Amino acid sequence: RSLKAQLKLKKEFERLAEVGIEVFVIHGNHDHTGGKWLDLQWPDNVHVFSSKEVEMKIYRKNETPIAHIYGY
């Protein structure tokens, strides 16, 4: 959760974007999502599940829907 860790994570997500890899972030039941977090703008390849309700995100490959991914 440190600033250094968050910036490193963003950098690595950007590296994945450069080679066309999508990232889906789902926080686990032991992940602390409260408190202070840097308000980072994630790259377009990063899809964060942030609702308290189940939501669906679509994984696409070459603009074709391949899978529905569910999380909250």
The pLDDT of 58-72, averaged and rounded, is: 93
CB atoms within 10 A of CB 13: 19
pLDDT tens by residue, 6-22: 899 999 999 999 999 99
| Region for 63 from its dihedrals, namely left if φ exceeds 0, alpha if ψ lies in -120 to 50, beta otherwise | left
Q: How far apart are CA 71 and CA 55, in angstroms?
A: 6
For CA atoms 10, 58, 26, 23, the dihedral sign is: negative
Mean pLDDT of the chain: 88
pLDDT of residue 23 exceeding 90, the answer is yes
